[in-house]
Structure formats: C-alpha cells, structure tokens
Structure 1
Amino acid sequence: MAPRFLLVALALAGTAIAAPATTLSLYERAGNATAVQFVGTNIAGFDFGCSILGACNLSQTTPPLSNLGGVDGAGQMQHFAKDDRMNMFRLPVGWQYLVNNKVGGTLDSGNTQKYDQLVQACLKTGAYCVIDVSSPYARWNGQIIGQGGPPNEQFVSLWTQLATKYASNAKMVFGVMNEPHDVPDIDKWADTVQAVVTAIRGAGAKTQMILIPGNDWTSAAAFPTKSGPSLLKVKNPDGSTDGLIFDVHKYLDSDNSGTHTDCVTDNISSAFQPLASWLRENKRQAINSETGGGNTASCQKYLCQQIQFLNQNADVFLGYTGWSAGAFSPQTYELSEVPTKNGNSWQDTALVKACIVAKKS
C-alpha cells in the first residue's frame, strides 16, 4: 500500500535517459536495452486530502505551483529534467477535484485550468507527463466503480474529457486509476478498464501510453497471479495491446506501506523477478510508477539494487517514478524526494542522489 492515506494529515500540518519519440516494443528492446526508458518522480499536491476510501476533501488540495500559493513544482521538474535527466513526471490529481465533486459531471473549468498549469509545466521540460487519477483506489466516496458505486459510464465520462483535452500531445500518458484495492471482482474491474481504454482511444489519443492498474494496491508482487490474468484481456479497439502498459507499485519497507524511513528488501526475488518472467511469457511490459523510501542508508542500498534489476530487465520494465516530490514538506514527510533550492541551484535528497542517477542505454 502506498503512503497516499497520509495525505490528509500531511496537507494539514532512477536512471534517466533522453526520452524517445515513442516507446519501443518488447521485441525491439529484447537483448538491446541496458537501461529503462523512463525515470522520474511524482509531483504530488493536487491529490492531497484524498483517503483510502476514495473520498477527497477539496479544501486540503495543495497545488504544487508557486503562482497558486504553493511550492515551486514547475521549478522542481525543470531541475529534475535538466540536472538529473529525468524524463517522466507523474501528476496525481483527485477525480473529485477535476469535476468539483460532481460524479459523472463535466470537468470543472477552474480546477482543471489549475491542474493544467502543472501539466503544461511538465510538458515544457520535454518529459512525458502522466495524468494519475487519484479518486483514489477505484472508488468514489467509498463506493467501487462499476461494482455498486458509480457506473462505468461516469468514470468513462471523466476519461473521455481528459483524453479529448490532451489527445494531440504524444507525451501525455493516461494513468487510469491510482491503486485499486479490495475490489471484489477483478474481471468486472477489467471490464471497467476496457471501457476506459476504448474511450481514450476513441477520443483521439491513438498512440499515447495508457497505464493499466491491478487490484491489491496494484502490487508488483501480486500482479502476475491476481490481477494480471484478467487484465490481459484489455485491448485497444483494433485488438492490439500497443501502448497498454501495466502499472505496478512496490515499496521497500517492512510492511510495504511506504510509511517508514528504513528499507528491508530490494523486492527482486519476491516481486520483480516473478513479474519479469510473467511479462515475458505474455509479451507485455510494465512500469513501476510508485516506489521509494527514506533518505537513509538502508533505502539507498535496497532501492539502488531494485533499480539495477529494472535496468537489467528493461525489455519488460519501461521505467519507474519515485514517490514523491511536489507539495510534501521535506522536513516532515518520510519519503520526501523534494529538492531544496539554494539561490539559483537545487539540492537533491540523499536517496535521489544515490539511486536516481543517469545511465545510458
């Protein structure tokens, strides 16, 4: 489970390479890749106030933009792209925020305009920019999408509007949903995801990556046996799976919650080795869009080992984005990747400096 459930309280109180024009297929990368294609971090804030029950207190949303009274998230991304050569940023945002708490409604012009400022700041760096919908957890106010909660049509409406807005930019990436968990019927969830994929492609986003999340907090360890078999059936309208990338998360602390400053595992034998084998067997690829740890020696050791394994298996792992920079307080947040600005320069956290470093493929 990711640290997202701490956001209410917090709101109140890598290996980077040059970005390719398009992702390479499994066959193009097999035997050739020595580094993942995408590395970056999350720029959090537009998701603050959201709980694990899928309820969001919009008064606690904290836009990571200095012109909106927050931190300089645009400057953070410029630094990461220029100095660390990161080429992907994941931009979490609450579903409720985008529609101003009106499920199934149109995008709220004011809130969407504010979020778009972060998107445009991301695109200005030349990086790939992930819209990460954080209702979160496959829910709207505690009710599961398509399984007793909002019907699929209301979730599809959100994504149709977002895809229509950003379809013309090839560097936009569509993250269907942050960390579904305790979804009772994974086959019905796959049907929900299929409806979203069909809608995104139908809205004109024909080639952009779509990140497909599983159940179990989209755990990399659970994915091959629990969610993956059902989600394999999700296809593009033409029957292909081009650009449909499995979205997995994995933290390195004792309970996989991402809430402790110490790390105890590199997740290789328990998660990423089995997942790599499963992906190859099924000719698919994945991205680890949330991972990280404290700025401690143990996390530097294990996260660097985990990243090394992803690079060594870059035919099936496209990349990773760390959790998290953005609006978090580097003084109080356990997993802060927030750089510190000194004059005209930025200073990275110890973990970013140790592990999220450039490696050419």
Structure 2
Amino acid sequence: MFPTVGKATVLLSLAASCAAKVQLAGVNIAGFDFTVFKDGSADISKVYPPLTQYGGPDGVGQMQHFRNDLGLNVFRLPVAWQYLADNQLGVDFNAANFAKYDALVQACLDTGAKCIVDLHNYARWNGNIIGQSGGAVTNEHLTNAWWQLATKYKNEENVIFGIMNEPWQVDISTWATTLQWVVNTIRSVGATSQTILLAGNNFAAAGGFKDESGPVLAGITDPSDASKSKLVFEVHQYLDADSAGDSTECVRDGLDALRPLADWLRANGRRAILAETGGGNTGTCSQYVCAELDWMNYNTDVFLGWVGWAAGSFDGTYELVLTPTWDGNSWVDRSLMADCVAGKFK
C-alpha cells in the first residue's frame, strides 16, 4: 500500500499524462512541390499553388479553417527548389516565383501558426546528390538557396526551416556535413531564433533512424545555441503495407519504429517531429493513425508533434487526401483529419 504522499504523487503524474498532448499538430499544404520526383527532378510547369489568386485551390481558407476551427498550429509548406530558382543553380531566386511561394508563407504566418519552409528535393537536384555528385550539385548551391530563404524569414519567429525533404541513399556522414553548412548559413544571416529540421537517410524514415542517421546527425552543431535545442530531427512514417504512403489502407500503428526512436532521443537529450504521416480516409487508417498519434501524446518530452500528409492542392482523387471540401457555407473535413490528425490534438 502506497503512503499518502506517494499515492497523491502517482495520481498527479497519471493526470498529467492523460492531459498531455504534443506542442504542434497540423498538416502539409502541398502544391508548390507538385511533380518533384524522388531523383530531385521537377517539371515546374506542373506546380499548382494552393492559392486562389494564382488559379489554385483555397489553401489560405484551408489553413484558416484548420487553425480557427480545429486548433491546429503548424503547417508545412513544401516547395520545389527548381521552382524558386527557375531551374538554375547558384542564382538569385526567380522573383515572381518566390513572391508566389511567399504569399503562402505569409498567409500561414497570418494564422499565428508555425510555418515549415520545406525544400522538397530528396537531397538532390536533377538526379545528382547534393555535395556527393563530383561537383555537379555542391553544398554551396544548397547554401545559396538557404541563404535567400533565411534572409527572407530571419525575423519571423514562427518560421521553421526544413532543410531538405526525404534524403535517400546518401552517404550519411557526407550528408551531415552538408546539413552543417546549411545550419551555419542560416544562423550567419541572423536567423537565430528559428527551429531547424534535420532529416536523415531512407526517406527520413522513423524506423532505423536511431541506428544510422541519428548518431551522425547528432554531431551537427548550432552556432547560436550550444544546447542544440533548436536543431530538431525530422522523421516521416506511413502505415500502409510498403510504408510508402501510396495506399488507402493501413496495416500497423508504427510504434515498433517510434518506441526505439523515443528511447534514443531521450537518452541523447534530443527531440524529433513527425513531419509526414497519414493514410486513407478508411477504417484501418483511422484505427492505426489514431493509435500512432495517441502514443505520441504520451511522449511529448521527445516528440514536438506531427504534420499530416496532405491538404492544399490535392483533390479527392488522391489516396491520402486531407483537403477539406467547401459545401457553400463551411468546410467539411475528411474523416482522418477529424478523427486523428486534429482529433488527437484536443
């Protein structure tokens, strides 16, 4: 039998656990990344901005709905590197294209949410791995892009810098050097208050991160903060049969990957964000995605939160659509959004 003080302590601890939830939950607002292929090539003529003023869907209205009606507080804004640079390496961004993307970023900031600027190129440019392609695409090319992005948003504390989406088959030690170059560049322009996301190998997969990417990326330093608290690991996880996020049915909750990652993060005093997860608007995905996010709410010391994939310019034909529909009077949410992505953040 517990002594009275011990019993009270246990009950308070349990109450705190039950009340816990992650700091950040939200959704990817896709469109500026359309037709970026996993080899880092892109057909920028097919970019479909989620902005009505440019002929696209109402991404601004979506974000306002997600923020005001559902309480979500982070949006990830993927963009093709080629779109910003108009298919040229090492140059100033195309002013018109950057202005369009910035319109989405500003609309995000206007909601009061955190806004992840995500360069969505798989650690590549047109088939060449950044910093690992014999000089075809160099660290200087990537830092040129991030110098421009960081300079633009250095005074926006609600911007989060997502250096690169889903690296794959990279030499992880060399990739860590590339990331260090970018971190140094971002901080050098005065962007010292923002969180920076570091993605590892195997498409940023949560599974295996602790064994391959984690120990190497953990060595990246922050010139503005010796604690590294603003350097957060970016991981992704899909719950379908091949873990690729291309099926409407889910087969597992993914905790076999998240549990060891949480243990590793805890042991190393680090944090991560699940920047992509999702599934179809089906019973199996509601079951497993909700279980995944429920578990994260009990591990808030090491997980900042989650970002569902995806809304924005995706329509109802897309397997993992989270885009709400407008019925003429109000937004109507997809079931996975209502049940899990937003439902578990209440």
SS of match in other structure, 2:115: strand
What are the equivalent positions in structure 2 for 1:178-217 lying under 5 Å apart? Answer: 178-183=165-170, 185-217=171-203
Q: Distance in 2 between matches of 1:329 and 1:357?
A: 19
Alignment counterpart, residue 258 of structure 2, candidates 272, 289, 294? 272
Gapped runs of 5+ residues in structure 1? 1-29
| Equivalent position of 1:11 in the other structure | none
Residues 25, 342 of structure 2: 8 Å contact kept? no
Q: Tell me if 1:241 matches 2:214.
A: no
CA deviation after TM superposition for structure 1 residue 204, in Å: 1.0
Q: Distance in 1 between matches of 2:211 and 2:45?
A: 39
Q: Distance in 2 between matches of 1:33 and 1:281?
A: 24
Matched letter for residue 241 of structure 2: S
CA deviation after TM superposition for structure 1 residue 357, in Å: 3.1
Residues 123, 164 of structure 2: 8 Å contact kept? yes
Matched letter for residue 125 of structure 1: T
Distance 1:345 1:32, change over 3 A: closer
Q: Tell me if 1:336 matches 2:321.
A: yes
- When the two structures are superposed, what TM-score results if normalisation uses the length of structure 1? 0.89
| Equivalent position of 2:291 in the other structure | 305
SS of match in other structure, 1:264: coil
Q: Tell me if 1:351 matches 2:336.
A: yes
SS of match in other structure, 1:228: helix
Matched letter for residue 82 of structure 1: N
Runs of 4 or more off by more than 2 Å in structure 1? 30-33, 356-361
Residues 274, 305 of structure 2: 8 Å contact kept? yes
Alignment counterpart, residue 204 of structure 2, candidates 218, 238, 257? 218
| Equivalent position of 1:147 in the other structure | 132
Q: Tell me if 1:55 matches 2:41.
A: yes
Q: Distance in 1 between matches of 2:79 and 2:71?
A: 24
Structure with more contact order per residue of length (Cα contacts < 8 Å, sep ≥ 6): 1
RMSD (Å) for aligned C-alpha atoms: 1.4
CA deviation after TM superposition for structure 1 residue 240, in Å: 3.2
Alignment counterpart, residue 78 of structure 1, candidates 60, 64, 76? 64
Matched letter for residue 176 of structure 1: I
- 1:4-46 deviation line (CA, Å, top 9, x unaligned): xxxxxxxxxxxxxxxxxxxxxxxxxx98981100000000000
- How many residue pairs end up in the alignment? 328
Task: Identify the range of structure 1 (161-170 vs 235-244) with the bigger mean alpha-carbon deviation.
Answer: 235-244
Q: Distance in 2 between matches of 1:266 and 1:243?
A: 28
Q: Distance in 2 between matches of 1:175 and 1:52?
A: 17
Gapped runs of 5+ residues in structure 2? 1-15
- 1:277-301 deviation line (CA, Å, top 9, x unaligned): 0000100000000000000000000
Q: How much identity, in percent, do the aligned residues show?
A: 51
Distance 1:109 1:297, change over 3 A: same
Q: Distance in 2 between matches of 1:304 and 1:46?
A: 28
Matched letter for residue 154 of structure 2: A
- When the two structures are superposed, what TM-score results if normalisation uses the length of structure 2? 0.93
Q: Distance in 2 between matches of 1:298 and 1:255?
A: 15
